[in-house]
Amino acid sequence: MAAESDIEARMRQIGDRVTTAEGEIRRLDERETNRHAVAQGTIDRHERRIDEHEVWLDGDNQYPGIKSDLSNLKSQMQKLWWMLGAFFAAMATAVVGVLVQNFSGGD
Query: What pLDDT sits at residue 83?
Result: 92
Residue-level pLDDT at 63? 59
Q: How confident is the model at residue 4 (pLDDT cuts 50, 70, 90)?
A: confident
Domain parsing of the chain, residue ranges: 1-62, 64-107
Torsion sign, CA atoms 80, 86, 89, 91: negative
pLDDT tens digits, residue range 56-96?
Answer: 666 555 556 666 777 788 888 888 999 999 999 999 999 99
13-70 pLDDT per residue, tens: 888 888 888 888 888 888 888 888 888 888 888 888 887 776 666 655 555 666 677 7
DSSP state of 4: H
Q: How far is the C-alpha of 97 from the C-alpha of 107, rounded, in Å? A: 12
